[in-house]
Amino acid sequence: MLQVKGLTKKYNNILAVNNVSFEVESGEIAVLLGPNGAGKSTTIKSIAGLLRFDGQILINGLPNKTIEAKKVFGYVPETAAMYEYLTVYEHIEFIARAYRLDESYREKAEYLLKRFELYDKIGKLGKELSKGMQQKLSICCALIINPKIIMLDEPMVGLDPKAIKELKSIFIDLKNQGCAVLISTHIIDSIEEVWDKVLIMNKGRVILSRTREELEEKAESLEDVYFRHTEGVSGL
């Protein structure tokens, strides 16, 4: 379970995230929506432990910057950052060693790389990969650790239709395994079939939090709700 309590982040004078609180339960897929500059990436980077912030972020009850918390969360950044001189498979091996995974990771690596059509490219260097291939490898690296919580910042960007289909099906697998999933995206269609909870951010705040059931009760679509709450307002 992911708990964000009173998260506030300032970049010099810019209040990028303003007292944001929300939770993502185990086995829940939450989607973070919002216009450009709303504070989504800053929220995700804070959870990933990449920024200093005020407030509290707990991963399965542990502060997000502890080793124990880091061991169980996967993060797919907005822009994949691969090592130029490591091969596809060496990226996976590097993560496996850093996280001290047992040898069974090799089987999982084969399964994931095949699912994302990277298995025939395991000897290619990071610098030889296309943007989409880098994104797919970045996703495989986050998944190989068997995360209890995973965050993905604009994960569909640059992916081909087959990879998008696989990723959606992986979201459902993760949910069924009890993983808490947080996805930030602008492409509302891309997560329409999979989301359980929507968090809409604007100007550094979460302005709306709704479950799928709550929207269904009112016969509202995600798109309707998004535009109603963000129309005519811009980010910071």
CA distances in angstroms from 36 to 154, 201, 206, 213, listed in the order given: 12, 10, 14, 27
Q: Give the C-alpha distances (Å, rounded to integers) separating 127 from 97, 124, 133.
A: 22, 8, 11
CB nearer ligand ATP, residue 153 or residue 166: 153
Q: At what angle do helices 88-98 and 131-143 cross, to 10 degrees?
A: 30
- Comparing CB distances to ligand ATP, the nearer of 45 and 148 is 45
Q: Which helix (H) or strand (E) holds 214?
A: helix 212-217
Q: Which stretch binds ligand ATP (CB under 6 A): 30-38, 91-99, 139-147, 187-195?
A: 30-38
Residue 199 binds to ligand ATP (criterion: CB under 6 A): no
Interface residue with ligand ATP, options 36, 52, 81, 103 (CB under 6 A): 36
3-class secondary-structure state, position 177? coil
**14 vs 187 by CB, closer to ligand ATP:** 14
40 interacts with ligand ATP by CB under 6 A: yes
74 near ligand ATP, rule: CB under 6 A? no
Residue number with CB closer to ligand ATP (16 or 144): 16
Closest CA to 30 of 184, 223, 214, 190: 184
Instruction: With contacts defined by CB under 6 A, name the span among 9-17, 83-91, 116-124, 141-149 that binds ligand ATP.
Output: 9-17
Residue among 16, 48, 149, 156 that touches ligand ATP (CB under 6 A): 16
The helix or strand, by DSSP H or E, that contains position 41, with its residue range, turns out to be helix 40-47
Please check whether residue 206 is in contact with residue 200, taking contact to mean a CB–CB distance below 8 angstroms. Answer: yes
Give the number of residues in contact with ligand ATP, rule: CB under 6 A. 12
Q: Which of 20, 30, 38, 140 binds ligand ATP (CB under 6 A)?
A: 38
- CB 63: neighbour CB atoms within 10 A? 12
User: Which chain residues interact with ligand ATP by CB under 6 A?
Assistant: 11, 14, 16, 34, 36-42, 236
